[in-house]
Structure 1
Amino acid sequence: MEDKEAKYIGYLEELRKRIIITLCSFLVAVCGAFIYAKDIYNWLVRDMEGKLTVLGPTDILWAYMIISGIFAIAVTIPVAGIQAWQFVKPALSKSERRATLMFIPALAVLFAVGISFGYFVLFPMVLSFLQTIAANQVNTMYTTENYFSFMLNITLPFGLLFEMPAVVMFLTKLGILNPMRLAKARKLSYFILAVISITITPPDLVSDVLVIVPLLILYEVSITLSKMVYKKQLALRTVEQ
Structure 2
Amino acid sequence: MNSNNQTVIEHIEELRKRLYFVVVFFVIAIVGGFFLAEPLIHFLQRSDSAQSLELNAFKVTDSIKIYFQMIFYIALLLTSPIILYQLWAFVTPGLYEKERKVTLSYIPFAFILFVTGIVFSYAVLFPYIINFMMDLNVRLAIEPTIGIDYYFSFLFQITLPFGFIFQLPIILLFFARLGILNPQIMVKYRKYAYFGLFVLAAMITPPDLMSHLIVTVPMFVLYEFSVWIAKIGYRKYLKSEEMRLKEEQVAEQERLVEEALEQQRKQIEELNSK
TM-score band by shorter chain is over 0.9
Equivalent residue for 1:147? 151
Amino acid aligned to 2:73: I
Superposition CA RMSD, Å: 1.8
Aligned to 1:27: 27
Is the CA contact 1:182–1:223 (under 8 Å) kept in the aligned structure 2? yes
1:216 aligned residue (213, 216, 220): 220
Given the alignment, which residue of 131, 134, 139 partners 2:137? 134
> For the residues of structure 2 that align with 1:181 and 1:78, how far apart are their CA atoms?
29
1:176 is the counterpart of 2:180? yes
Aligned match of 1:231: 235
Letter in structure 2 aligned against 1:60: S
Is 1:45 the counterpart of 2:49 in the alignment? no
SS of residue paired to 2:238: helix
Cα offsets for 1:20-66 (capped at 9, x unmatched): 22222223212211222111111101143472111222211111122
Partner of 1:61: 64
Which one-letter code corresponds to 1:156 in the other structure?
A: L
Q: Does the CA contact (< 8 Å) of 2:115 and 2:163 recur in 1?
A: yes
The correspondence for 1:103, drawn from 102, 106, 127, is 106
Distance 2:19 2:194 in 1: 32
CA distance in structure 1 between the aligned counterparts of 2:92 and 2:239, rounded to whole angstroms: 22
Q: Which structure would you say has the larger Rg? A: 2
The answer to whether the Cα contact below 8 Å between 1:29 and 1:75 also exists between their aligned partners in 2 is: yes
Give the secondary structure class of the aligned counterpart of 1:135.
helix
How far 1:232 sits from its partner (Å)? Answer: 1.4
Moved more, 114-123 or 230-239: 230-239
The residue aligned with 1:15 is 15
Contact 1:52 1:142 in 2 (8 A): yes
| Residue 167 of structure 1, aligned match among 167, 171, 174 | 171
Residue aligned with 1:138, SS = coil
Q: How many angstroms apart in 2 are the aligned matches of 1:27 and 1:193?
A: 35
Q: Distance in 2 between matches of 1:39 and 1:11?
A: 42
Q: How many residues align?
A: 238
Report SS of the residue matched to 2:133.
helix
| Closer, same or farther: CA 5–217 of 1 in aligned 2, 3 Å | closer
User: Is 222-231 or 65-74 further displaced after alignment?
Assistant: 65-74
Residue 80 of structure 1 deviates from its aligned partner by 0.8
Q: Deviations over 1:144-175 (max 9, x none)?
A: 11101111111111011000011111111222
Q: Structure 2 regions of 5+ residues with no counterpart?
A: 247-274
1:207 aligned residue: 211
Range 91-100 or range 71-80, more displaced: 71-80
Cα deviation for residue 79 of structure 1 reads: 0.6
Q: Deviations over 1:175-205 (max 9, x none)?
A: 2212022222312211111111111112111
CA distance in structure 1 between the aligned counterparts of 2:181 and 2:23, rounded to whole angstroms: 27
User: 1: CA distance between counterparts of 2:159 and 2:191?
Assistant: 25
Q: 8 Å contact 1:114–1:159 — kept in the other structure?
A: yes
Task: State the TM-score, normalizing by the size of structure 1.
Answer: 0.93
Q: Distance in 2 between matches of 1:185 and 1:230?
A: 17
Which amino acid is the alignment partner of residue 96 of structure 1?
E
Name the SS of the counterpart of 2:55 in structure 1.
coil
Q: For residue 83 of structure 1, what is the aligned residue in structure 2?
A: 86
The sequence identity of aligned pairs, in percent, is 37
